[in-house]
């Protein structure tokens, strides 16, 4: 199955717009999630079957660890806030073009390395 993305409240809206400009047929949703805690954001993405894209490298890994104790996740991609916009878009395009949704299940990965993010390491 093809990858579908959900932006949390952190990613620059320009990432979503730039991604969809490159791939107009792709599925990348963005919605206001102000004042929604990380576990609730993860649940929203999971219920929609979407990989969550977030800049929140500080708290999201902990929320993901808590969430995964009892629930399934389509996955989380953490992209650095100070990373160039074009690089964030390019990596997300590559993920959409070259991978399947199942490859990201129950993983939280840090772009640009694609390494699994491990809490406490």
Decide if 52 is inside a domain: yes
Decide if 121 is inside a domain: no
- pLDDT one-digit tens code per residue, 95-108: 999 999 999 999 99
Which residues span the domain enclosing 55? 5-116
Decide if 75 is inside a domain: yes
pTM over 0.85: yes
pLDDT at position 10 is 66
Cα–Cα distance, 34 to 118 (Å, whole number): 26
- pLDDT one-digit tens code per residue, 13-65: 889 999 999 999 999 998 777 778 899 999 999 999 999 999 888 999 999 99
Assign 82 a pLDDT band (cuts: 50, 70, 90). Answer: confident
**Domain total of the chain:** 1
Beta bridge partners of 53: 7, 77
* Token pair 């389509």 in the structure block, residue: 74
Burial of 4 (0-12, 13-18, 19+ CB in 10 A): middle
Cα–Cα distance, 107 to 116 (Å, whole number): 7
- Count of CA atoms in the C-beta half-sphere (13 A) of 108: 21
Q: Which of 23, 16, 119, 116 lies closest to 75, judged by CA? A: 116
Decide if 9 is inside a domain: yes
């Amino acid at each position: 199955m093809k990858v579908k993305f959900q932006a949390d409240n952190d990613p620059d809206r320009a990432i979503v717009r730039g991604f969809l400009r490159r791939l107009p047929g792709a599925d990348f949703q963005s919605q206001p999630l102000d004042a929604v805690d990380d576990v609730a954001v993860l649940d929203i993405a999971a219920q929609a079957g979407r990989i969550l894209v977030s800049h929140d490298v500080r708290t999201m890994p902990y929320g993901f660890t808590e969430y995964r104790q009892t629930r399934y996740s389509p996955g989380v991609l953490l992209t650095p806030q100070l990373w160039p916009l074009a690089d964030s878009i390019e990596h997300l395009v590559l993920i959409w073009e070259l991978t399947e949704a199942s490859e990201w299940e129950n993983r939280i990965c840090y772009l640009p390395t694609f390494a699994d993010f491990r809490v406490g390491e």
